[in-house]
Copies of this chain bind each other. A is one copy, B any other.
Amino acid sequence: MKRYKLSLCFDGTKYHGWQVQKNAVTVQQTVQDAMGRLFGVRPALTGCSRTDAGVHARAFCAHTDIDTEIPAGRIPYALRHYLPPDISAVDCEEASGDFHARYSAKSKEYVYKIYNRPHPNPFYRGYALHIERPLDTETMNRAAKAFLGRHDFSAFRASGSGVEDTVRTVFDAGVHREGDIILFTVRADGFLYNMVRIMTGTLLEIAYGKTEPEQIPVMIARGDRSVSGPTAPAHGLYLNRVLYYSQTT
């Protein structure tokens, strides 16, 4: 048995998130089934995070223990025949026995995409939030900087989430435009439930002039979900990358 680190890219449209659930198709279950068909036994797969229903991933990390003669680098090619076209294994490497997809992660980066043109774009219909009115990315970027640092993000998690430590450290946060697409990028040591989507909804309220950028520190201090903005829809959100302690970047 060796431990492997597997990197997955998936279109989350059809899935009820990562984690196995009863009566719902999830990414974890789909990949485990594919591995079961490839290896003969169905190994357990541990993901770097739960992602919500409909959320996408450019590089989701998972680990698994398998006994196989297939070289690590060939596993993505072999898995391809058993995976549906909306999930792709993009990398696989041997990891040390104490590597853990979730607990060895130093930080995770999410990107929220907004398609900012008057008319909808069919190519982004499931892949970016369509906002018709022109958004001022400079104001949004300035506001996003208030997320930086170590804070209690209770105001930015779904109400009704369980009791847990709500302090997280945000290492990077910024908004920039690439043509018709606006990207909100945020990297932290962890995220609370719906945290990026509530941050996005709040930045949009600021762009609309409903709230001032200076209100974000006030919201953080209040720690109350009712003072932050609405939860932006899942289909604009991407888990972009996961950085591990072993990595230099």
Contacts and interface: CB of A to CB of B under 8 A. Distances in A.
Interface of A: 9-11, 56, 76-77, 80, 85-91, 117-123, 125, 127
A131 B117 CA distance: 31
User: What 4 A-B pairs are tightest by C-beta distance, nearest first?
Assistant: A11-B122, A90-B119, A86-B122, A85-B125
Contact of A127 (B10, B88, B119, B123): B123
Contacts of A120: 80, 85, 88
Contacts of A88: 119-122
Contacts of A119: 9, 76-77, 80, 88-91
Nearest to A87: B122
A126 B211 CA distance: 40
A236 B90 CA distance: 21
A87 to B, nearest CB: 6
A125 B123 CA distance: 12
Contacts of A85: 120, 122, 125
Contacts of A91: 119
Nearest to A76: B119
A87 B120 CA distance: 9
A119 B78 CA distance: 11
Nearest to A238: B123
A86 B124 CA distance: 10
Nearest to A91: B119
Contacts of A77: 119
12 contacts: A9-B119, A9-B122, A11-B122, A11-B125, A56-B123, A76-B118, A77-B119, A80-B120, A85-B120, A86-B122, A88-B119, A89-B119
